[in-house]
Chains A and B, each alone.
Chain A
Amino acid sequence: MINPTEYLPRTYQARVSTYWWLKRWAYLKFILREASSVFVAWFVVVTLLQVRAIASGPAAYAASQEWLRSPFILALNVVSFLFVLFHAITWFNLAPKAMAVRVGGKRLPNLAISGPQYIAWAVISAGVAWILLRG
């Protein structure tokens, strides 16, 4: 099949600035959300280093705890925590928009979809904290 747009003149292409995402809060929010993925990846690196340290023995574990206390890593983890939190909140709020669940011909309200996720988040977080902090 012939693609009709293939024969259109393509001489004009509006240049979009590389910094287009700084122009509006909504755009910036989009880019910040996308950027959160870098901190998600950083968290995986930290977790794997911890797993390796724990497997290597008490001395390696102590060294890794010392490393996590160093100012740069600590600051990076504070920023990462804020980004991961931002990811979590935007993700839960996005779910009702990504999947429109209909019950009896009516669309479920947003809260009916994001609400249970917030509850699951709280329960899971409490569970993880309980396992790590008990006795």
Chain B
Amino acid sequence: MSKRSNEPFLWMLFSAGGVVSALLMPIHLFLFGLAFPLGWLDAPSHEKLLAIVRNPFARVYLFVLCSLPLFHWAHRFRFTLYDGLQIKHLNELINVFCYGGAVVGTAIAAYLLWAIA
């Protein structure tokens, strides 16, 4: 048998990230990206948000919200470059850039969330 492919595992991360992005991102982006900056709704105070991000459950939530979608991005973006722009000869470089980026992003998220005083 040939070398076992890690494709199913990467696809699982892609899929889990797709679910998280679909369920959670629209409301977050609507509030923080549109409703608060445009003054449609009152933005929560710093004090309140700090209390939220200090909560361990909220940190786990934010970690999942940041990490899995990055792997979702990595998978999709990789195939966008591969099929869309047909730059197949750069496959290895693309893989390193995409999945490497997701791993680095996950590490940054873990650090930032862990370091909250």
Q: Chain A residues near B109: list those with CB within 8 A.
A: 44, 48
A31 and B25 contacting across the interface, CB-CB below 8 Å: no
Q: Tell me the bound Cα distance from A31 to B108 in angstroms.
A: 29
Give the size category of B's interface with A. Answer: 35 or more
Q: Chain B residues near A14: list those with CB within 8 A.
A: none
Q: Chain A residues near B112: list those with CB within 8 A.
A: 48, 51-52, 55
A54 and B49 contacting across the interface, CB-CB below 8 Å: yes
Q: Residue on B with the closest CB to A62?
A: B46
Q: Is B95 an interface residue (CB 8 A)?
A: no
The secondary-structure label for the interface of chain B is helix
- Which of B26, B31, B85 interacts with A18 by CB under 8 Å? B85
Q: Chain B residues near A37: list those with CB within 8 A.
A: 72-73, 75-77, 80
A88 and B72 contacting across the interface, CB-CB below 8 Å: no
**With A34-B84, A48-B112 known to touch, is A55 a contact of B53 (CB < 8 Å)?**
yes
A54 and B62 contacting across the interface, CB-CB below 8 Å: no
Q: Chain A residues near B34: list those with CB within 8 A.
A: 74, 77-78, 81
A74 and B116 contacting across the interface, CB-CB below 8 Å: no
B37 and A68 contacting across the interface, CB-CB below 8 Å: yes
A124 and B23 contacting across the interface, CB-CB below 8 Å: yes
Q: Is B33 an interface residue (CB 8 A)?
A: yes
List A23-42 residues whose CB lies under 8 Å from chain B.
31, 34-38, 40-41
A-B pairs with beta carbons under 8 A, tally:
149
Q: Which of A4-12, A101-109, A127-135 binds B? A: A127-135
B33 and A41 contacting across the interface, CB-CB below 8 Å: no
Q: Tell me the bound Cα distance from A90 to B21 in angstroms.
A: 12
Give the interface centre of B26, B32, B115, B117 by most chain A CB atoms within 10 Å: B26
Q: Tell me the bound Cα distance from A124 to B112 in angstroms.
A: 25
Q: How close is A95's CB to chain B, nearest CB, in angstroms? A: 9
A132 and B105 contacting across the interface, CB-CB below 8 Å: no
List A61-118 residues whose CB lies under 8 Å from chain B.
61-62, 65, 68-69, 74, 77-78, 80-81, 84-85, 87-88, 91-92, 117
A81 and B52 contacting across the interface, CB-CB below 8 Å: no
Q: Tell me the bound Cα distance from A124 to B66 in angstroms.
A: 17
A31 and B18 contacting across the interface, CB-CB below 8 Å: no
A120 and B43 contacting across the interface, CB-CB below 8 Å: no
Can you report 6 A-B residue pairs in the complex whose CB atoms are below 8 A from each other? Answer: A34-B84, A43-B29, A50-B32, A52-B112, A62-B46, A81-B26
